[in-house]
Amino acid sequence: MALRRQKAVFTADPEQLRQLRVIVQSRRYRSASELLREAIDEKLERLRRERLAAQVDRYCDEALGDEEPGMVESQALGPKR
């Protein structure tokens, strides 16, 4: 069962809104909502990766990852399986 979407209101600079309209009018996205959902997903994924990288750094700094330098980071930040 698909989750029901909820509406949200946000405030943006006029230039951001202008650029958003230009992109939607180019038909790359069906709507501003679609573009914003994708942008939010990308930002959330980037933040998740940054948190994970910080955790890996802390792990390695505490000498817990001395077994093989770079192994932990490559496994944690490598491509999704």
What was the pLDDT predicted at 1? 67
| pLDDT bracket for residue 43 (50, 70, 90) | very high
At 79 the three-state DSSP class reads: coil
Percent of the chain with pLDDT over 70: 75
Q: Where are the domains of the chain?
A: 45-81
pLDDT digits (tens, 9 = 90+) for 6-18: 999 999 999 999 9
How many Cα atoms occupy the beta-carbon half-sphere of 25 within 13 Å?
6
Quickly list H helices, 1-81.
14-25, 32-61, 71-77
pTM, full prediction? 0.66
